[in-house]
Each structure stands twice: as structure tokens, then as C-alpha cells.
Structure 1
């Protein structure tokens, strides 16, 4: 059965000049500037990232997901592999484009991708919020927000990348109820993007509950998710640190799948895996080089919630 939460088509960007983005390191504690990977030099990192996305896209296609794979040729966009931050799509034919905090991330917005969506899918309008950037108002797409497309709630951690004015504006335009909350890791460092600690699927939700600072807000979030018929799976801080929250449910050829990284999958407990597999098949994808940039599988996927043209 198809679900509004699980898109059957996605956009991915294959990087050609991937490297760690110095402009985002200040508020992204998930970035790793050194690694145990057997790599030597920038060219090797870029080649590994290119190969990881190539393989991830192949596995997703084999699972029956439609993958629109674009190439990035410029050296100016080190985080281009994370397209979910600069645009999102919505049922009814709507596209949103977002204001980005890092200046070099603003260069990731691509008219050719928007044009492809208009050509292949029914698009009524494109709402562009990037004009908020000069005022320092940022809202980094489905990184900043984890959207419940069924219950119409936009969950958002408070950070420099999630401005409350921009969040309110998006929620009004796209008919979501905004639910902002403060979240931090065990060291007290604020979580930079909501999608590293939270994943909402059709029948379950993964959440780093220990990171939510306000107990009443935490109870409210759990209550809302349970009321929508979902099982809430709490993730530990260590699991979040291994990107277990950075997953996305997609519609495959033979049912729903949960795409996540191999590292994230290995961090889950057998009981958590059993709960997830009651409604979605786990699809681990190996992207260790890309995870050095502070994002995982969810960040590399922009879901398409649009109706294909006939």
C-alpha cells in the first residue's frame, strides 16, 4: 500500500569534488576532519564519495526506487551531495527552495533540477525562500525539518539553521503545524539538523529521545506520533552519533524500505530491527566517506512527493 510518507522517487547528486566543508564545521559536531579510512589526499576522498553514491543509487534502483541521479562538476559546492537541504517537494504539485546558512551551500541550488521536476512531474508552483538569506533567516529544508506528511507536523530542532520566522512561513504555506524543540548531545552541543536525530516513517518513528531538552515537549512529540498510529523507537545518543536517526522510508517495488547507512544499521539493536521490519525492509548503504561531512543517507536523498506526468 502506498504511503504519503514514503516517496517512490528521489533526487541524488553524485559528487565529483567532494571534500569536508570548512564553512559548516563550526556548528556541525557530526563532521570528522580526520578518519581511519585508508585514503591519501583530497582526490582519493572525492573518488570514494563518487563511488559510494554510485553504489547507493544502484542499490536503491534495484529495490525499485526511481532515482534521478545528477552530476556535480563544480569545485565550489563541497556539500552538493546533500540536496535535501535546498529543496523539497510536496503533494499537490508544490516545491520549496530554502535559505542556506553557509554561503557556498547557496551555490547548490540548481535550476536544471527544478526544470526536470516540472518536466517529469505535475508542478503547480515553486516557493523560493532563499531571499531570506540576506536577513540571516535560514531554514535548511528537510535537514532542518523532519516532516510528518500524514499528520502534517513539521518537527524542527532550534538552531542557526532553523529560523522560527522561516519555519512559520513554510508551515503556513505548506499546511504543516510547526513543532520546534531544543536538542543537544551529551556534551551540551546543540543538534544542527533535525534529521540526524529523527526519522518518521509510515508506521514507526526513530528519535533520539535523550537529546530533547524539554520533558513536556518530548512527551508531546511521543504522544503525537503514537496518536498517528506509529511505534516510537527511542535511539541512544551513541546510536544518533552513528547516524541511526538519519534514515528515510521509501516506496520500493515490493513494499516500503528504510534506507540508512551500514554504520547506522550496525548501531541498531535486534529488537529495533525487528520492529522496523514489521513494516519496512532495511536497506543498508555504505557511505563512510560521505559521513565524514556530517550527514548520512537521509541527507543524500531528496524525496519526490509529486505526481508523475502521464
Structure 2
């Protein structure tokens, strides 16, 4: 099973703004003194520049345009509601914020099929919403596809039992822990695992400082090292610049990139950049408005496509 894809699906926003429903436990979101229309326009510009950079590097990007009437402020982060898998399976996930549930659109699947990808089976976990149980896709779950391990920091958006069910359904070993951040001198759970860790083919970038429990921290390090990953640790301060929210992709010639925001790139120290660039180039783009208002970054914006493409 391969870890890195050469195709991502991204959703161009139509009503991007700070989502009041997610701000309750996404402490990365900040208020800005701009009107919503201005925020959306800036986010569209950042989105378009980012897509252009990916395409210029030879990465396959499928773009789905959001619809304004859906009023989905976070549609730009599709990886939270869907994941695709090499066996043709697609998983659809239960979302914490009610207005994010409208992001799940059939057009997403139609675009994939129109682009030659085969969807064999949809595994739908969304009924869990009725029980107040959530698991937000590859925001909550970090997949080491090659080594069949799945990492999950538990939170209001990542339920332990549902995560274990996902791992049983998809054949992954669950690695469970809790990650925290300091908010007004309290330690509160980080809303998504993918802001504090990223797993690439040969390495992992992770904010170990956020795993307060020493046993859990040791367990995570052990699992990563047993899978042959070089562990590149970032600080909590760097995590707040979205230095954990990265995704490794490859282009049509097989060249690999670690994709991140300009903020994340600027936060990295020289030795961390050297550790990463031993394995792949860095591709970064300015996502300031999206990060500030949306509380998510480059990784959240890309839904990786691993589906088979029959000839």
C-alpha cells in the first residue's frame, strides 16, 4: 500500500468565514476585523494561488467549486468528511459542527468518477452523529497506510470507539493518545490530530510536547520508529504556526513534496528543514486568511485520492 498520492481533491470556497460552530473547540481560529465577503475573497485568492503552485509542481489537483447557497464556511477542508482508499473504498465521516454536515456532496464522488477513479464501496459512519459521536476523517486520523497503523488524538471530534471501529473495518492498528495545547493557562485537547502530526513515507513531523502523558508519548514514538520513520519534533509554538499540518504528495513523475503553508515553513528551524529536505522538497503557499479564520491549513485543504484507476 502506498503512503503518498499524486492526486488531491480540493474544494474552492464560496462562503468562507470564521465558523462560529467550530470555534467552540478549535482554538486555532481567531476573529478578524474584515467583513465576511472580504474574508471569502481573500480565501479564494489564497486557494487559487495554492492550487496553481501544486499544479505547477506536477501534482494532480481536482477542484470542486462550493455553492454559496449551502452556506458551508469550512467546505475548504474536505479531508474532514471523506477519505479514499486503494481498494476502492471511500469512508464518509460524522462531523461535530452541524453546518459542516452539508459539505458532504454527491458532486464530490461524481467528480472522482468523471476523472476516471473507481469507487467500489462507501463506508458511511455518519449515523453516529445522532448519538453525538464524531470522527472527522483524516483530520482526526493520521494514516500510516504502508505500515497499516492509524494514529488518533482523542477529542470532542475523535471518538475512541468509533476510531477503533474504523481501524477494524479498514485493517489498521489503532494508536490512541491525547494531545493538548495551552489555552488561557489551561491544557485543553487539540481539536484535530493533523494539526500536531504528519506522517510521510520516511519520516514523521510531530509536536511531542503536546502529548502530556509520558507513556502515551513513548508509545507514539515507539510505533513511529518501529515503522522506520525518522521523528522530526516540532514545538508547541511551531504547531500554532501550523507546522504540524503538512501533507506529503508526489507529482506525475514521482517526485515528492512536503506541502505546508508559508506560516509553517517560516516557523521551521534550519535543522528541521534539513531533516525534511533529505527526503523531499518543501512546497509552501501563503494561507494566512484561511488559517486565521478557519483554524486549519494546507493539509486540511487536500483530500488525498488513493482510489484505483481502471484502464
User: For this structure pair, what is the TM-score category when the shorter chain's length is used for normalisation?
Assistant: over 0.9
Equivalence for 2:285:
285
> Is residue 259 from structure 1 mapped to residue 254 from structure 2 by the alignment?
no
Equivalence for 1:101:
96
> Is residue 213 from structure 1 mapped to residue 212 from structure 2 by the alignment?
yes
Q: CA deviation at 1:64?
A: 1.0
Mapped partners of 2:209, 2:242: distance in 1: 15
Q: CA deviation at 1:115?
A: 2.3
TM-score, normalised relative to structure 1: 0.95
The residue correspondences of 1:1-310 to structure 2 (distance < 5 A) are: 4-34=2-32, 40-75=34-69, 76-119=71-114, 120-186=116-182, 187-254=186-253, 255-292=255-292, 293-310=294-311
Equivalenced residue count is 304
Mapped partners of 1:220, 1:115: distance in 2: 40
Alpha-carbon RMSD across the aligned residues, in angstroms, is: 1.2
| Secondary structure at the counterpart of residue 271 of structure 2 | helix
Q: CA deviation at 1:244?
A: 0.1
Structure 2 residue runs of 5 or longer lacking an equivalent are: none
Mapped partners of 1:64, 1:163: distance in 2: 37
Q: CA deviation at 1:137?
A: 1.1
Moved more, 271-280 or 112-121: 112-121
Mapped partners of 1:100, 1:209: distance in 2: 26
Mapped partners of 1:74, 1:302: distance in 2: 21
Structure 1 outlier segments of 4+, above 4 Å: none
Mapped partners of 2:243, 2:2: distance in 1: 22
Mapped partners of 2:85, 2:175: distance in 1: 19
| Secondary structure at the counterpart of residue 220 of structure 2 | helix
Q: CA deviation at 1:208?
A: 0.4
Is 1:209–1:235's contact at 8 Å kept on the other side of the alignment? Answer: yes
TM-score, normalised relative to structure 2: 0.95
Is 2:2–2:145's contact at 8 Å kept on the other side of the alignment? Answer: yes
